[in-house]
Chain A
């Protein structure tokens, strides 16, 4: 036995003189093209951020003063008041119903679109590309832009809001639906096909059961997102509690504005809580229980397990809520068809786009939009990344730090960006600075959560190895945490930039700078050709940013 091991030991590689052979060059990492590209990209982003900060006249004193102004404003907002509670309550119900109906509408559009867009269920590659293109377009046009157009065509009310939420949500929902279809196990499909079933039967009995959990998850997530938007749709006349908030701010009734804002935060926080609870219970595979009670005999009815009961109740509640909402809001489902000529006249007049006489103003507004997004993402990330790391359970130095960091993130996340923008505009005046500050603060909540969640997912082994070598908390952070999470951090940062630039295109609606102001003006003054070109520009900005960030993410792995 021992000799066998000896012989295995002999080829053990113990070359002693390789260190001598290595020259000094071996102590420097070799040059690589990817690294070079990365550094250039990083330098470019840094340079552009500085330029952007100049463009929107950020200076640090103004920033300090800005927060003073906000503090002053907040002082004037206290104590919060609530006048006319019945009206606020009514608007609140309207807001919730808009969010629900918008998401339901988007779901109805997304399901067929997703089957056409998924590469494994599409009838033809050309259809696949066309469907993906439609989805991208829906995503690239912000919901508030849709809302502005629908309000113009259909008049003030909740219907334009629902249509706007519905169309824009298709951009996310259909994409995630299609991605879920592409990830299914092909085996069951083959089995169904082998029985001689038709195409539709194949999709319904083999594909649908595999994707419903992911789809339900997406639906709940989107209701949550749409509620955040539906509270501000009122700013452009598309219904909901945003009406009341705007009235209060216009009338300089800051205390009642604060009352409304607090109610909004409360309802958003409640929805987030409800959504995460629903996701947990609805998507919990254990609730169907492997341990079924023994049945007295063969039965043709499936048993009412806990999971099935919950799913049944939720489905019934959703259907009831949708029916009640349609009746309560007095929506005529055929209205979009009856008012088709109005829609055509508004959307038709967007074409052909024109920039007659506003080229300079447009160019400036585009620059401002990009600048707001970039400055807000850079400055926000400087706060969001540390907060996010402290909010990661596995890295946070103490339980107390963990809970405080999570609380900061939760509190900021509950405030929609446009509401932040309204507050900053009221405090420091109209202009891009207010927009940049609003998005910067919002970034702490959004990016902070992404950072915290991805840090919590890194393997713990290397962290332990640094600790075992006698490393301190900082050594663990720099040697094991940051290197392991850097690709995700980069990805999240770019995604944040994407989101912030998209939001900064609509900040102008509340006077916080960027191209949105021109859009509102051109629609208000019936210059639809100019509105058309602005929408095209927004579309191309969002599209280009999405491509760019996908490209950088591929480089950085």
Chain B
């Protein structure tokens, strides 16, 4: 493992896309994550499962520096995320697409402008208004918007779309970054089941086609088992499951959601 760490720094490709060692995150007196080890290979599609408050979102936000980590190390796309300058951090973030539970679109702007915001990490200077972006950039954004099936809504205000459509705009915004990795934080938790399935299928299909690595938190066990190469379970800030999907039964996965681990139930203190 230490040899892998040495090689990971030199070139991004051969090493894992995400490598986390003994990660710990505290919010004041509260410990959100501790002792997390995780490795995600390039192109792999990993789903994080766990109850609300188990630390899934915190883990994702640590990986792109939205939350600074307290202890341990996290290396993403060959870059250690701790101790970076803000310029290096922005460079790394521009390579990572992030999908939010509440989409985080600017409601008053058109869909196309929202997609163009995805390019803000790689184009110089702040932009204001559609016409401040070059034609090539606009064309590229329109392609991504069409890919998620919303090309005809390019000039509609983002807040006039349904939830499922808004999340698809957010996916197009992430694609605009030309990401090597997508971190998705409960992307369908605020959608109805049918829309949720559609959006997840779209996201995973695009990522598989483009060989984008994905780390996604979900509550839908069936969707996870259908798409994920690997499933990781968190409970109370600790990893309780990490296995390829093929070797898992639905029962194993649902265990993650039990308040107490069946075998740990008697002493109970670890839960």
Q: Do A and B come from one complex?
A: yes
Interface residues of A (CB under 8 A from B): 1-2, 4-6, 8-9, 11-16, 18-19, 21-22, 24, 26-30, 461-462, 464-472, 474-475, 477-480, 482-484, 486-487
Whether, in the assembled complex, B84 has its beta carbon less than 8 Å from a beta carbon of chain A, the answer is no
Chain B neighbourhood of A8, CB < 8 A? 194, 197-198, 201
Which residues of chain B have a CB within 8 Å of any CB of chain A?
A: 64, 66, 90-98, 100, 102-110, 112-113, 117-122, 125-128, 130-131, 135, 138-139, 142-143, 146-149, 151-152, 154-155, 170, 173-174, 177, 194, 197-198, 201-202, 205, 222-223, 225-226, 250
Q: Is the Cβ of B104 less than 8 Å from the Cβ of A461?
A: yes
Q: In the assembled complex, which residues on chain B have CB atoms less than 8 Å from the CB atom of A477?
A: 126
Q: Tell me if B125 and A474 are in contact (CB < 8 A).
A: yes
| Assembly CA distance A1 to B249 (angstroms) | 13
Q: A469, B146: Cβ atoms under 8 Å?
A: no
Residue of B nearest to A9 (CB): B201
Contact with B106, one of A19, A468, A469, A483 (Cβ below 8 angstroms): A483
Residues of A within 8 A of B147 (CB): 14, 16, 19
- Asked whether A470 and B201 contact (CB < 8 A) given A22-B151, A29-B155, the answer is no
Contact in complex: B118, A12 (CB < 8 Å): no
Q: CB-nearest residue of chain A relative to B158?
A: A462
Which residues of chain A have C-beta atoms less than 8 A from B177's C-beta? Answer: 469-470
Query: Could you show 18 A-B contacts with beta carbons less than 8 Å apart?
Result: A5-B223, A9-B197, A13-B198, A15-B146, A18-B152, A19-B146, A19-B151, A22-B146, A26-B151, A27-B142, A29-B112, A464-B104, A469-B93, A470-B94, A472-B120, A472-B126, A480-B106, A483-B106
Measured between beta carbons, the chain A residues less than 8 angstroms from B226 are: 2, 5-6
* Contact residue among A5, A12, A22, A470 (Cβ-Cβ distance under 8 Å from B122): A470
Q: Pick the contact of A470 from B93, B128, B194, B225 — CB < 8 Å? A: B93
Q: Which residues of A contact B128 (CB under 8 A)?
A: 478, 482
Cα-based distance from A1 to B226 in the complex (angstroms) = 9
Does A11 lie within 8 Å of B198, measured CB to CB? yes
A462-B106 in contact (CB<8A): yes
Q: Which of B98, B154, B202 contacts A13 (CB 8 A)?
A: B202
Most chain A C-beta atoms within 10 Å of own C-beta, residue among B121, B131, B155: B121
Known contacts: A461-B102, A469-B98. The answer to whether A19 contacts B142 by CB under 8 A is: yes
Contact among B92, B93, B138, B205 for A12, CB-based, below 8 A: B205
Q: Chain A residues near B154: list those with CB within 8 A.
A: 22, 26
Q: With A and B bound together, what is the CA distance between A28 and B250 in angstroms?
A: 49
In the assembled complex, which residues on chain B have CB atoms less than 8 Å from the CB atom of A471? Answer: 90, 117, 120-121
In the complex formed, the residue of B with least CB distance to A4 is: B222
B174 neighbours in A (Cβ, 8 Å): 469
CA distance A22 to B113 in the complex (A): 17
**Of the residues A18, A468, A483, A486, contact of B98 by C-beta under 8 Å:** A468
Q: CA A469 – CA B64 in complex, angstroms? A: 10
Shortest beta-carbon distance, A536 to chain B, in Å?
Answer: 40
Which of A1, A2, A12 has the most chain B CB atoms closer than 10 A to its own CB? A12
**A5 and B222 within 8 A (CB):** yes
Q: Shortest Cβ distance from A551 into chain B, in angstroms?
A: 20
Q: Could you tell me the distance between the alpha carbons of A486 and B106 in the complex, rounded to whole angstroms?
A: 12
B127 touches A470 (CB 8 A): no
Q: In the complex, are the beta carbons of B126 and A479 less than 8 A apart?
A: yes
In angstroms, Cα B197 to Cα A121, docked, is: 51
Residues of B within 8 A of A11 (CB): 198
CB distance from B206 to the nearest CB of A (A): 8
Chain B residues with CB under 8 Å of A482's CB are 128
Which 3 pairs between the two chains have the least Cβ-Cβ distance?
Answer: A470-B121, A470-B94, A13-B149
A9 to B196, CA, bound (A): 10
Known: A1-B250, A29-B155; 13 extra A-B contacts, CB below 8 A, are: A5-B223, A6-B226, A8-B198, A13-B202, A15-B146, A15-B151, A27-B139, A469-B93, A470-B95, A472-B120, A472-B126, A474-B126, A478-B126
